[in-house]
Chain A
Amino acid sequence: MIDSLALAIVAPLLGAVVVTLFPRHAQRLGVAAAVVSAAAALAITAVVWTDGVLRSELGGWGVPLAITLQADGLSAALLGMASLVALSVSVYAGGYFSSPQDGERLADDSRSRHFWPLWLLLWSALNGLFLAGDLFNLYVTLELLGLSAAALGALTGSREAVEANLRYLLVGLLGSLFYLLGVALIYTAYGVLDIGLLAEVIAPGPVAATAMALMFGGLLLKAALFPMHFWLPPAHANAPAPVSAVLSALVVKAAFYLVLRLWLDLYGPITPLGAANLLGLLGAAAVLWGSWRALRAERLKLLAAYSTVAQMGYLFIGFPLIAATAAGPARDNLIAAIVLLALTHGFAKAGFFLAAGMVQKTAGHDRIDNLGGAAQGLPAAAFTIGLAGVALIGLPPSGTFIAKWILLEQSLILGLWWWVLVMMIGTLLAVGYVFRVLSRAFNREPTPYRFVNDARAEIPALLLGALSALVLGLAAQPLWTLLGQGVIG
C-alpha cells in the first residue's frame, strides 16, 4: 500500500516530472496533478482530524536511520490550507498564463512551460516541509522551497524581478546555512535529529541556546520578520500574480510554521522569557512598519507585499504571550489563535494577490491612484479584494477577528497592555490601506457590467476571499479539534 503521507509529497513531484516531459500539455497535466496533490493532502488532514497523529518511516527502517514523516494537528492544519490555496492558484494559473495580452503570446507560452514544473516542485517541497519529522529533512525541504520560490519569482524575466529574486535567493541561502549550523550543533550535542527524540533529551544550556539562536536567526530571515523583511516587498511585488499569491500566502508561512514547531516541540520549555519577548518586539515593529509602508505604497501589489510583512508580525506577537501563559486552556487558545491567524492570512492574501493580478492584467498597470472604475469593470475582483480586506483588518466574522480577540484578551489578562496598543494601531492602519484601495475602485457611472467576467480566474480568488472572511471565522471550532491531535489540549 502506498503511504498516504509520502503520497502528498510524491504526487506533486511526479506531476513536475510529467509536465517537464510533455511541455505542450503542461497546462492540462499541471491542473490534473494539482487536483491529485490537493486531494492527497486534504485526505491527510481529514485522517488526522478523525484518527489522530499519523507517522510513517520510509523504507521500513527504524528511527535513527529512516526518513520519518509525521502529521499532527499543526501540520495537518497548514497542509489543508496550503492545498486549498495551491489548488485555487493552479486553476487560476491555467487561465492567467494562457490568455495573452498585447501580443505577448510567445512570452506567455514559455512562461507557462516554466511555471508548471517549478510550481509543482515548490508544492512538493512545501508538503515535505509540513510533514518532515527530523531537523535535517526540514533543512532539505527548506532549501528546495527557497530555490523553487526564487526561480518562480523571477519568471517574468524583467530586470527588477530577477534582481529582487537574486537577492531573495542569496538571503535565503544565508538563512539556510545558519539553520544548518544550528542542526550541526544539535547533532554534536545530542546525536539525534528526530524532533520527537530530541524533545526528550534537550536540556537548557549554552549549546541549546546557541543552536536555537542560529536556527531561529536563519528562519526569521526567511520568514521576513522585521528588520529582515527588506527582500520581501520587491520579490513578491514583481512576480506574476499566481506566484506572488504562493510566495506571500505559503512560502513565508512555511518558515513561520518551522519556528512555531521548533518552539512548541523543542525550545519553548527551555527558553527564557527574554527570547520570546524579543520575537514579540520584532513582530510589533513589523506590524507598525509594514502597515505604514502598505498605507503609503503606490502600487497594489507592493501594498499587498508590505501588508504581508505586517501580518507576519502579528504571528510573532503571539510568542511572548504563549511564553507568559501557564499550560492550560488559555495557552491552548493562544496557540490555536496564531495558527488561525496564519491560516486566515494565507487564504486572504492569496485571494488578494489573485484579484490584484486580474486588475493588473485588465488595467495594464497596478498604480492605486489610477485604478478608478476597477470595481465597475471587474466586480468579482474588487469584491475579492474587499473580502480579503475584511480578513486583513480583522473585522467579524473573519478568522482574524477571533484570533485577534483571543490575543487581545490574553494580553489584557496578563497585564501586557503594550501588545494591545500595537495590535490596535496595526488594525487601524490596515483599515486605512484596505479602504484606500476600495475607495479608488469606485468612480464610474452605473454598473452595466457582469459580476463575473473570467470565471476561471475570478472564482478561485473569490472562494479564497470568502474562506478567509466568512468560513474560518464562523466555523473556527474544527481548528481546535484538529490541533487537539498532538498539539494542544
Chain B
Amino acid sequence: MISTQLFYGGGGILLLLLGLWSFLVHAPLLRKLIALNVMGAGVFHILVATAYRGLDTPPDPVPHALVLTGIVVAVSATALALAFGQRLDRDDDR
C-alpha cells in the first residue's frame, strides 16, 4: 500500500526533525545521544520506506543492507560517546 509507505516515510521525517530539535536544544550528553539515535531511527525509517516496491514484488534489499550497516555504526558511536561521558563523570567525582 502506498499509504503505508507514506506513513513510514513521513514518520521518519518527523522523528528526524524531533531528534534534530532535541539535539540542538538540550545540553546534557545523554539527551544529545538519545536525540542522535532518534534522528538515526528517522533516517532508517525513510530508508526502509524506500525499499517498498508494491505488494507483489519483494522489497528492495539494498536499503535494508544500508539500514543494518547504519545500525551497527550508530551502536558503536553511541558506545564510544558513553565511554567519553563516563570518563568525564569519573573525573568529576574525584
Interface residues of A, Cβ cutoff 8 Å to B: 64, 136, 140, 143, 146-147, 150-151, 154, 157, 159, 162-163, 165-166, 169-170, 173-174, 176-177, 180-181, 183-184, 187-188, 193
Contact = CB atoms under 8 A, between A and B. Distances in A.
Interface residues of B, number: 27
Contact of B73 (A140, A166, A187): A140
Contact of B77 (A159, A163, A173): A173
A184 B47 contact: yes
B83 to A, nearest CB: 9
B62 interface: yes
A184 B80 contact: no
A436 B12 CA distance: 52
Contacts, number: 69
Contacts of A146: 77
Given A170-B32, A174-B23, A184 B84 contact: no
Tell me whether chain B's interface is mostly helix, strand or loop, or mixed.
Answer: helix
A181 B46 contact: yes
B84 A169 contact: yes
B36 A166 contact: no
Contacts of B69: 136, 140
Among B16, B33, B70, B91, residue most surrounded by chain A Cβ atoms (within 10 Å): B70
B23 A136 contact: no
A143 B73 contact: yes
Interface in B13-46: 16, 23, 29, 32-33, 36, 39-40, 43, 46
Interface string B65-94: 010011001001100110011011001000
B62 A187 contact: yes
Contacts of B33: 170
A217 to B, nearest CB: 12
Contacts of A165: 84
B63 interface: yes
Contacts of B85: 166
B36 A177 contact: yes
Given A159-B88, A174-B23, A174-B36, A169 B81 contact: yes
Nearest to B45: A184
Contacts of A169: 77, 80-81, 84
B50 A177 contact: no
Contacts of A177: 36, 39-40, 43
Contacts of B62: 64, 187, 193
